[in-house]
Amino acid sequence: MELTHEQRQEAAAREAADILQEKAPRTPAEQAAIAVLDERRWVLWHADDYSLGVIRLLSLRGLLRDVEHEKQQSAAEKFWSAHAERTRAADRTALGRLDALAEEAADRLDAGDDPADVAAWLRETRDAISQAREKASRADDG
């Protein structure tokens, strides 16, 4: 037997009442959510997507949390913070070594060493410094 339109509406209303339990006592989280929505209900009148509006209002008040996402975000922030510190340390070390390299190259040229030999040595040493810098900045990156 097929249900009439009125019977379908009544069934939907019963199902909605079972889900919403509007007369049941509210948990503190539910009370907080209701308070936020009541306080900013005017925002929802202007929302093109009512559901998104509800989600955003609750989220802005910190009532929606994704603990797993927060853990992943925290781990990523720790990783990038450590990576940035390693990179800065590697850069400082490389700059110091490059400064010393320039001084040594100047001393060698002043002493009369062949500029071609100094240039080759300078390139080789600079490349070694760059490789050491890269290795140091990538340490523990996984």
Q: Where are the domains of the chain?
A: 5-60, 68-137
- Other C-beta atoms closer than 10 Å to the C-beta of 94 total 19
Token couple for 125: 């040493």
- Taking residues 104-114, report their average pLDDT: 95
| pLDDT-derived band at 60, boundaries 50, 70, 90 | confident
CB 36 within 8 A of CB 63: yes
At residue 141, the pLDDT reads 61
Alpha helices in the chain (DSSP H): 5-20, 28-39, 41-45, 50-60, 67-110, 115-137
- Taking residues 90-107, report their average pLDDT: 94
CB 16 within 8 A of CB 33: no
Phi then psi for 22, rounded to 5 degrees?
-65, -25
Buried b (16+ CB within 10 A) or exposed e, 129-142: beeebeeebeeeee
pLDDT for 19 beyond 60: yes
- Other C-beta atoms closer than 10 Å to the C-beta of 55 total 13
At residue 115, the pLDDT reads 95
pLDDT for 66 beyond 80: no
- Taking residues 38-54, report their average pLDDT: 90
pLDDT tens-place string over residues 20-34: 888 888 888 888 898
More confidently predicted of 129 and 137:
129
